[in-house]
Amino acid sequence: MHQVEKHIEFFKETLGVSYVLTDANDLQTFGRDWTTLFDACPTAVLLPANTDEVSRLLKYCHEHSLPVVPSGGRTGLAGGAVASQGEYVLSLSRMNKILSINTKAMYISVEAGVTTQMVQEEAARNGVFFALDLAAKGSSQIGGNISTNAGGLKLIRYGGMREQVLGLEVVLADGRVLDLNTPLRKNNTGYDLKHLFIGAEGTLGVITRATLKLMPQPRFFQSAILGVASVPHIMEIMSLSGQHGLQISAYEFFTDAAHKIVCQMHPQKRPLFTEAYPYYVLLEIENHQEDRSAFESFLGEVLEKGFAKDAVIAMSSREFKELWGYRELITESLASYGHVYKNDISVAVGELPAFLDDISPIMQEEGKNDITFILFGHVGDGNIHINYIAPKKGGSYKDFVIKAKAAEQRIFKVLQSYRGSVSAEHGIGLIKTADLKYSRTAEEIAIMQSIRRIFDPKDILNPGKIFKL
């Protein structure tokens, strides 16, 4: 029997025939994430039902040196879940149970394949709150959120995914199960190994279970979108909110170009203001009691001082959702507009205005090469998504990416001088392996390689992702 057939036979015996997929459509679907730069070409898709099955699969793959791509909701934007070299995709989709929730000790225990939204909803049903939030929440999985250390919309208030994780269960490359899955809040007994797996993009182990922090449910949210003339004004507004004692739970921005594309792709979305402004800021305030006056007096001062030109305030939960739609629809609108190439960079928050000033001439010059730059993101965290876009009729995606990458190198050199990050939250995956050097020194990369060799000496877990061994 051919080697591959022998492997498939073993996987079918272990999981059951229905849970080993080799059909061309399934391979296409499970072989990629949201990125479109790489061809999907896995050998098979494996759908285990529990930790023991994951362990048996990995033990076998380790013994036979078979490459494995751990796969969550495949909403990743860095190519981390792409299988383009005949790998075996190990999808956590069937491991999607909420295991327990404890609203006194404030934690929830889940299998890694539950979606972010399922956890949010289970928390809400029990009167508490799970703080990670992102536009991909309906599909992204907790295992994927942990493996990318997702940032999301509420990082400014609650921190990113790392801050939500209390415990983890991880299956190592050779099939050993590492049980770090306790709800302990304090535990200073040597190295805290769970942190190595957070943000490891599936290169150190497969996360099978997690215990996550819960928070008290905020009772009242208020939000507004402001039309703003300059980046320094965006920073002034944020600092003024602190002076008013407001608890900001999201501070997002997008440019007028982003706003126009959302309105173009979603005709039900009317332009926010009669006049266009260069930037829009979406801010959300959370409160445990209803107090409109503090928010209104803050907005009054923002307008009076000229930090914003105009404001639209959500007066009901329907309007609240409506306003968030302008921000949350950007990624999807860009994808349906045409070719998109993405950067996900960060600098220290106070340095954003200077950084954007420094890259502005680059964007203007590169704009002459038929690239339009669309900026949006989590400005309150210093995290900007720089999207390079062009209409599809202008040429092939691969040619467009070559052009975009040339522009990107110029931007990354400026970023490096700010000691910024080439990936604030999406990860390095396959897309940014050559760019890791802009944010990490050779010594750091060498230490990361040594750690990876300890966990996965045969380099079977997501080979080639983040960096080569």
Ligand X SMILES: Cc1cc2nc3c(=O)[nH]c(=O)nc-3n(C[C@H](O)[C@H](O)[C@H](O)COP(=O)(O)OP(=O)(O)OC[C@H]3O[C@@H](n4cnc5c(N)ncnc54)[C@H](O)[C@@H]3O)c2cc1C
**Nearest distance, CB of residue 45 and ligand X, angstroms:** 12
Burial of residue 468, with CB atoms counted within 10 A of its CB: 0-12 exposed, 13-18 middle, 19 or more buried: exposed
Matching residue, tokens 């092939």: 396
**Nearest distance, CB of residue 357 and ligand X, angstroms:** 25
One character per residue 355-394, x = contact with ligand X (rule: CB under 6 A): ----------------------------------------
Instruction: Label residues 137-164 b or e (16+ Cβ within 10 Å = b).
Output: beebbbbbbbbbbbbbbbbbbbebbeeb
Work out whether strand 383-390 and strand 279-287 pair parallel, antiparallel, or are unpaired: unpaired
| Residue 444, both tokens | 């750091």
423 near ligand X (CB under 6 A)? no
> How big is the site for ligand X, counted in residues (CB under 6 A)?
40
Among 98, 135, 193, 240, binds ligand X (CB under 6 A): 135
101 near ligand X (CB under 6 A)? no
Nearer to ligand X by Cβ, of 146 and 407: the residue is: 146
Segment near ligand X (CB under 6 A); pick from 72-80, 251-259, 411-419, 435-443: 72-80
Nearer to ligand X by Cβ, of 33 and 236: the residue is: 33
**Nearest distance, CB of residue 425 and ligand X, angstroms:** 3
Stretch (H or E) spanning 272: none
**Nearest distance, CB of residue 434 and ligand X, angstroms:** 17
331 near ligand X (CB under 6 A)? yes
| Residue 426, both tokens | 């999406």
Among 51, 109, 141, 222, binds ligand X (CB under 6 A): 141
Query: Are 178 and 170 spatial neighbours (Cβ–Cβ below 8 Å)?
Result: yes
61 near ligand X (CB under 6 A)? no
Segment near ligand X (CB under 6 A); pick from 23-31, 73-81, 361-369, 451-459: 73-81
Backbone angles phi, psi at 301, to 5 degrees: -70, -35
Segment near ligand X (CB under 6 A); pick from 137-145, 242-250, 280-288, 443-451: 137-145
What distance separates the 2 farthest-apart alpha carbons in the chain? 78
Among 31, 48, 144, 420, binds ligand X (CB under 6 A): 144
- Residues with Cβ within 8 Å of 363's Cβ and at least 6 positions away in sequence, in order, are 373, 407
Stretch (H or E) spanning 332: helix 330-337
Three-state DSSP at 413 gives helix
Residue 406 amino acid letter: A
**Nearest distance, CB of residue 131 and ligand X, angstroms:** 13
CA dist 45 and 81 (Å) reads 12
Query: Are 224 and 311 spatial neighbours (Cβ–Cβ below 8 Å)?
Result: yes
Nearer to ligand X by Cβ, of 30 and 129: the residue is: 30
Segment near ligand X (CB under 6 A); pick from 201-209, 301-309, 319-327, 392-400: 201-209
**Nearest distance, CB of residue 322 and ligand X, angstroms:** 18
Among 27, 134, 356, 428, binds ligand X (CB under 6 A): 134
122 near ligand X (CB under 6 A)? no
| Residue 274, both tokens | 């009669």
286 near ligand X (CB under 6 A)? no
Angle in degrees, 0-180, between the axes of helices 330-337 and 256-265, rounded to the nearest 10: 70
Query: Are 83 and 115 spatial neighbours (Cβ–Cβ below 8 Å)?
Result: no
Nearer to ligand X by Cβ, of 359 and 424: the residue is: 424
Nearer to ligand X by Cβ, of 241 and 462: the residue is: 462
Q: What is the DSSP string of 301-325?
A: HHHHTTS-SEEEE--SHHHHHHHHH
Query: Are 65 and 460 spatial neighbours (Cβ–Cβ below 8 Å)?
Result: yes
Matching residue, tokens 């010059």: 365
Among 326, 400, 462, 464, binds ligand X (CB under 6 A): 462
**Nearest distance, CB of residue 393 and ligand X, angstroms:** 24
Residue nearest ligand X, CB atom distance: 144
CA dist 142 and 269 (Å) reads 31
Among 20, 33, 118, 411, binds ligand X (CB under 6 A): 33
Residue 307 amino acid letter: F
What are the E-state strand segments in 127-243? 128-129, 165-171, 177-180, 206-213, 215-216, 220-228
167 near ligand X (CB under 6 A)? no
456 near ligand X (CB under 6 A)? no
Length of the chain: 469
Q: Which of 388, 290, 403 is nearest to 339 (CA)?
A: 388
Segment near ligand X (CB under 6 A); pick from 10-18, 146-154, 172-180, 281-289: 146-154
**Nearest distance, CB of residue 405 and ligand X, angstroms:** 20
Residues near ligand X (CB under 6 A) are: 33-34, 69-77, 80-81, 92, 112, 134-136, 140-141, 143-145, 147-148, 150-153, 201-202, 206-207, 331-332, 425-426, 429, 462, 465
